[in-house]
Structure 1
Amino acid sequence: MTTRLPASGRWIEGWDPENEEFWESTGKKIARRNLVMSILSEHIGFSVWSLWSVLVLFMSPKIGLGFAPDEKFLLVVTPTLVGAVLRLPYSYAVTRFGGRNWTVFSSAVLLVPTSLALVFVQRPGTPLWVFLLIGAVTGVGGANFASSMTNITIFYPQRHQGWALGVNAGGGNLGVAVIQLLGLLVIATAGDTHPAYVIAAYLPLIVLVTLLAALKMDNVDAVRAEPGALREAAASRHTWWISILYIGTFGSFIGYGFAFGLVLQNEFGSTPLEAASVTFLGPLLGSLARPVGGRMADRWGGPRVTLWNFLGLALGAVVLLIASRVASFGLFVVGFTALFVLSGIGNGSAYKMIPAVFAQEAEKAITSGADAPPAFARARRVSGAVIGIAGAVGALGGVAINLAFRTAYQGADGSGEPAFLCFLAFYALCMLILLRVYLRRDRTERTDPRPARPRTSHVR
């Protein structure tokens, strides 16, 4: 099919990034422009989603909002849960309305929770339920990830998807670190009684990103899902295995990112300034590590890279146990930072497994006599649906982590050790899945091939 570039409505028809001549002459430039815009939108979405991980550090009797620790954990759990639940419909929305159109909407709607938070966050005596409702609306920022990743998957050929998805997600994940850095800046300069300053900084940025998405992005007809794509994805066992793995990688990243400041306050009695001084470092390094994980998976295979990351995550959980028992603040921060970096790498490598696994199924269908273009088209379609499912299920891991911390610190000894033991057990389960399902030496077929391409391609 001949590719038709956008005229009215900015829809591209016949998009074929696997065609090397088209990719080098035209496709690469269009894909890169959309990737940049996608990163900006997702970045702001993550920042808004992470807003309450910063605002809870300001909430104290000094501003008339003296909530208990378990109530503060509930405030960070709520947007995490809503963001996870909304990821699946957001992923589908791209296939229904187009990547550009949905990015414009999903960016603009972020004005709602930020405006509400700005109105109430410095109103003394505001009840908890009001903030819980605002936090729930804030969850829309976390759903941006699923629509963004589904859209970008379509723009890039298989051989570059690990890198593209890693850069897209990593740039978005940086929103967690950036808003925490902004929180640190506000606390260090204006004190810990002005949370509205953090919120106000994002209102013009949301407007700017919305306008840029409208002017610079494109819709692609290939992203439109045929009936049954979600059903096909849900019927595949790989969808659920990878979703469990993504709970361990992205769930760790977002769960730790939301909870780190509160954990430091509960574990070591840190002040808001002390907590904010270190909480940004882990999300920053973890976000930067995500495209590295994608690159590593492109080279060595998603399952192998992800396995080593889960081993590292398990060791990191052990470090936290030791640091908690000896009350070492420095070792605790080092252990947490390592967990962020490893979860970032694991995010990239686990997500790379999605297109790789379904491209392998397309190769198998072609070997059995199926035509290459429809087989690979199906692989891309189902991969997009799986990205939505895995993103939603994975984000629920962040909910579980915050609930684990909330339960642990409500215990008699007020220690996070029970939570760390739960994380260690889950990382062991993920390693077992990788070894038994994806890395068994006696498997008769590979489930993580080198990036597959139609037979017409001449690239190795």
Structure 2
Amino acid sequence: MAAASFSLSASLFRAYGGHLSDKFGARSVMYWTFGFSMLFLFMLSYPPTDYVIQGKDGVIAFSTSMGLWPFIATLFALGFFMSLGKAAVFKHIPVYYPNNVGAVGGLVGMIGGLGGFVLPIAFGALLDLTGIYTSCFALLFVLVGIALTWMHLSIRAMERAAHGEVLDRLPQLPEMQPIHHPERTAMPRVLEDWRPEDATFWADKGRAVARRNLWLSIPALLLAFSVWMVWSMVVAKLPLIGFAFTPEQLFWLAALPALSGATLRIFYGFMVPIFGGRLWTTLSTASLLLPAIGIGYAVQNPETPYFIFLILALLCGLGGANFASSMANIGYFFPKAEKGNALALNAGLGNLGVSVMQFLVPLVITAGVFGAVGGEGVALQDGGTLWLQNAGFIWVPFILASTIAAWLGMNDIADAKASFAQQSVIFGRTQNWLMCVLYIGTFGSFIGYSAGFPLLSKIAFPDVNALQYVFLGPLVGALSRAGTGWVADRFGGGRVTFWVFAGMIASVLAVIFSLQAGSFPGFFAGFIALFFFTGVGNASTFQMIPVIMGKEVPRLMPQLTGADRARQIAMESSGIVAFTSAIGAYGGFFIPKAYGSSIAMTGSPVGALWLFLAFYVICLVLTWVVYTRPGGLLHDIERGRAFAAPHPAE
């Protein structure tokens, strides 16, 4: 009956919600929905509780609980306001996205539908962790609170953009008007005047500010990559401390962070122009505490169910998503002449987080780094002790420090604002999708091999202590990305990408033959070569994007000239960089998953490697046909300006 009361009201009054949205405005209805939903969810989340108070006349005891009929009535009221909200959400779509109503409506419906898959899992996990039946309503209370805060901040940002300086001069409270001095209370972290292409401005002020933001962004991104890929080390050790998971289950755990990280990148790539780089970097870095702390507690109990690990693996994807927003943010700070080097440093040194993690985690899990606070270690059969919880806890102090540093030291750029609707033009660009394919081949391979290399090495060569060497692969890949951007600038990203895929084909063949021969040195050398070529390819593919759009935008939008054309090229290039980084990251899911499936079906990972080789052949042919052959999109540019690329590597 309780479920029926909620379902009935949540569906029956949706039409009425549309009427109210037309009459009072969808925004007002959304505020009603979130406000009353938080009230009812708080009531529902409060568990039956016994209170004992020491009063002046003795003990006062009482209890609180909700009976069946109040519970049903509260559920009915909650469903009523949620039905109003569902109608109000779709009322917004034709207003903000008049030319993409179907696509945006489908996307909103898909994301909402995912709640029906994710939330029941989360409800079960909370019930197991807390033992409190009403914990599901507490989770919904938190989610609604986040949604209300996000909506309000978005509305305030839109109002600020519409009213500008007039709104900034008003105090937050009307009674403060007599003592309010805008010049003294202006937000110092927002850069209202930012002209990096102005040589004088850049030399006097801009370079120092941009470099400060870059060097605060790099450690935040390094930590993000470390948390993103920490499962690649943890899953290899889980069987040693009593978790009886199958190899297929372990590869799923290694692959899921890449799946969630890639999906979240799609959204993170659009966040900086909407919310600002400083705020978003702070929030996204702080969010890494969830998987870091969660891992630390989950691995201490061998009875922790598998789906808890699945949820933590998905949360690790928050780290992977940070790359898209970090790259988009740093790109706004630097002039074209220095943007390539800045983005290469941000991406390359950020990618070092994978190698740092694979080097550091094997050390910290062998000692009680945090003493009694970190929990007890697990005795191993060989007489040693393992503190696997340190693989999560070790990042907590660094995440806190980086979060505080980002909030105190970074800046927002007032001009770096664009709505999702403005940025969505990239979805109609053919070159966007072609570059996604190539970036799957380069970055997807880098992150996928990073996630699967430790476990694959342990399974393929169980007699070799490969975990002490595996950090070298991501290290080579990160350094080759940071150090070879100039090669693409000098010779052209298309040509470099072509030879990168040729090198990757040869490297995969070396790995396959070494596995068949049982040679660990050949296997390891082949993978090191693969990591090197992926790093070079990561830099060269990003170098291609602004060059391609510099040629495509004038063809597709001939009405734009001068500054408008340059602004459009920069916006589309930035959007495509962020979106390709999201799609490319799916390789981090498919590669470990392909290993697991190949081993399950054939007993060997060689089948998966043949599949990867075939994909690299497709990428090589695509690069040649579209970009580097005579008559290709980049052929004349790269041959005619071999020593002075028109756009630096991004």
TM-score, normalised with respect to structure 1: 0.91
Which deviates the most, 131-140 or 21-30?
21-30
**2:168 is the counterpart of 1:168:** no
Structure 2 residue matching 1:411: 3-state secondary structure: helix
Distance 1:217 1:270 in 2: 48
Distance 1:105 1:270, change over 3 A: farther
Consecutive unaligned residues in structure 2, runs of 5 or more: 1-184, 369-383
The C-alpha deviation readout for 1:211-237, integer Å capped at 9, x for no partner, is 110111111133212453332111111
Alignment correspondent of 1:41: 220
Radius of gyration: which is bigger? 2
Using a 3 Å threshold, how does the CA distance of structure 1 residues 231 and 187 change in structure 2: closer, same or farther?
closer
Distance 2:531 2:460 in 1: 18
What's the counterpart of residue 256 of structure 2?
A: 78
For 2:355 and 2:479, locate their aligned partners in 1 and report how far apart those are by CA, in whole Å: 10
Query: 1:219 corresponds to which residue?
Result: 412
Instruction: Return the alpha-carbon distance in structure 1 between the equivalents of residues 420 and 284 of structure 2.
Output: 24
Unaligned segments of structure 1, at least 5 residues: 1-5, 454-460
Distance in 1 (alpha carbons) for counterparts of 2:513 and 2:569: 45
Q: CA deviation at 1:15?
A: 2.5
Q: Who is 2:177 aligned against?
A: none
Q: How many angstroms apart in 2 are the aligned matches of 1:154 and 1:137? A: 28
- CA 1:289/1:172 → structure 2, altered by over 3 Å: closer, same or farther? same
Is residue 193 from structure 1 mapped to residue 386 from structure 2 by the alignment? yes
Q: Structure 1: how far apart are the matches of 2:188 and 2:395?
A: 29
Alignment partner for residue 16 of structure 1, among 162, 174, 195? 195
Post-superposition shift, 1:447? 6.5
CA-to-partner distance for each residue in 1:82-105, whole Å, 9 max, x for gaps? 000000111111111011110000
Answer yes or no: is 1:441 the counterpart of 2:630: yes
Question: How do 1:16-415 residues align onto structure 2 when only pairs under 5 Å count?
Answer: 16-60=195-239, 62-186=240-364, 191=384, 193-226=386-419, 228-270=421-463, 274-361=465-552, 370-412=560-602, 414-415=603-604
Rate the CA distance shift 1:411–1:91 in 2: closer, same or farther, 3 A: same
Distance in 2 (alpha carbons) for counterparts of 1:149 and 1:417: 35
The one-letter code sitting in structure 1 at the alignment partner of 2:412 is N
Q: Determine what percentage of the aligned residue pairs are the same residue.
A: 38
The amino acid across from 2:578 in the alignment is G
Q: Is the Cα–Cα contact under 8 Å of residues 162 and 348 in structure 1 kept in the other structure?
A: no
Which residue is equivalent to 2:87? Answer: none
Amino acid at match of 2:526: G
- Matches of 1:131 and 1:407 in 2, distance apart? 20
Q: Is the 8 A contact 2:548 2:633 kept in 1?
A: no
State the 1:134 CA deviation. 0.9
Give the SS at the match of 1:222: coil
**CA distance in structure 2 between the partners assigned to 1:19 and 1:428 by the alignment:** 44
Quick one: which amino acid aligns to residue 621 of structure 2? L
Closer/same/farther in 2, CA of residues 290 and 58 from structure 1, 3 Å limit: same
The answer to which of 353-362 and 209-218 deviates more is 353-362
* Offset at residue 270 of structure 1 (A): 4.4
Task: Tell me which amino acid in the other structure corresponds to 1:378.
Answer: Q
Moved more, 320-329 or 6-15: 6-15
Aligned to 2:129: none
Which SS does the other structure have where 2:543 is aligned? Answer: helix
The aligned residue for residue 457 of structure 1 is: none
| Residues 292 and 348 in structure 1, CA contact (< 8 A), matched pair in contact too | no
Paired with 1:306 and 1:7, the residues of 2 have a C-alpha distance of 47
Change (3 A) 1:137 1:257: same
Question: Partners of 2:286 and 2:582 in 1: how far apart?
Answer: 21
Q: What is the CA–CA distance in structure 1 between the aligned matches of 2:498 and 2:420, rounded to whole Å?
A: 35
Distance in 2 separating the partners of 1:332 and 1:447: 38
Q: Output the TM-score relative to the length of structure 2.
A: 0.65
Aligned residue for 1:456? none
- Quick one: higher RCO (CA 8 Å, sep 6+), 1 or 2? 1
Q: Aligned-pair distance for 1:390? A: 0.2
C-alpha contact (below 8 Å) 1:360/1:447 kept by paired residues = no
Count of aligned pairs between the two proteins:
443
User: Structure 1 residue 192: deviation in Å?
Assistant: 6.3
| Partner in structure 2 of residue 3 of structure 1 | none
Aligned-residue CA RMSD (Å)? 2.1
Q: Which amino acid in structure 2 is aligned with residue 229 of structure 1?
A: Q
Moved more, 182-191 or 101-110: 182-191
> CA 1:134 to 1:370, structure 2 compared with 1: closer, same or farther past 3 Å?
closer
